[in-house]
């Protein structure tokens, strides 16, 4: 599936994309209906981008493998959510547990989030001339690449380059 992103998939991978699309729709609805839409507009933009690309994959059975590759970013979510839980538990930033998590967080961010995104972008660019609706997916990928690089910068700044963190009370991806 990694080499035939456009056309290959299994029933289980198709089901994974369907369920994941449902999750993104539910989470977007939660953000909107809980009143955090204004503070979390970046999340909503990300969710809309994912939803429209995943729905295309579901409805056409094309790019299902690409959606599965894109879901590798969720490996990093374990450490991002652990980071948030540690902060909520007021675990000190200089503790061993927080330090281990932040190293695993940045490592999985680079390998799973950025690696998967850049692989998909490379695949689209190399095969652009024959892929169905390649422009649609390239625009989506570039938008997500920009967002992920901004989030990565925020994460590095918050955990590695900032001595004093400030919280403004909003739900942000790499909130200090």
Q: Predicted confidence band at 68 (pLDDT cuts at 50, 70, 90)?
A: very high
Average pLDDT over residues 31-59: 95
Given a contact cutoff of 8 angstroms between Cβ atoms, the answer to whether 136 and 117 are in contact is: no
Tens digit of pLDDT for each residue in 112-147? 999 999 999 999 999 999 999 999 999 999 999 999
Tell me the pLDDT of the chain averaged across its residues.
92
The string of DSSP codes covering 125-171 is: HHTTTTSTTHHHHHHHHHHHHHHHHHHHHHHHHHHTS-SS----SS-
Average pLDDT over residues 165-172: 47
The per-residue pLDDT for 162 is 75
**Backbone torsions φ then ψ of 13, nearest 5 degrees:** -65, -40
């Amino acid at each position: 599936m990694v080499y035939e992103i456009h056309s290959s998939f299994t029933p289980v991978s198709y089901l994974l994309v369907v369920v994941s699309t449902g999750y993104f729709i539910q989470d977007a609805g939660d953000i909107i209906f809980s009143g955090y839409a204004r503070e979390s507009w970046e999340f909503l933009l990300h969710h809309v981008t994912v939803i429209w690309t995943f729905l295309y994959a579901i409805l056409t059975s094309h790019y299902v493998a690409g959606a599965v590759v894109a879901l590798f970013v969720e490996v990093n979510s374990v450490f991002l959510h652990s980071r948030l839980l540690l902060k909520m538990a007021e675990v000190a930033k200089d503790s061993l547990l927080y330090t281990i998590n932040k190293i695993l967080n940045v490592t999985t961010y680079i390998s799973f989030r950025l690696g998967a995104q850049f692989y998909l972008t490379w695949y689209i660019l190399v095969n652009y001339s024959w892929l169905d609706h390649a422009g649609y997916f390239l625009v989506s990928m570039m938008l997500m690449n920009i967002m992920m690089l901004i989030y990565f910068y925020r994460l590095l700044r918050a955990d590695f380059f900032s001595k004093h963190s400030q919280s403004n009370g909003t739900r942000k991806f790499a909130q200090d």
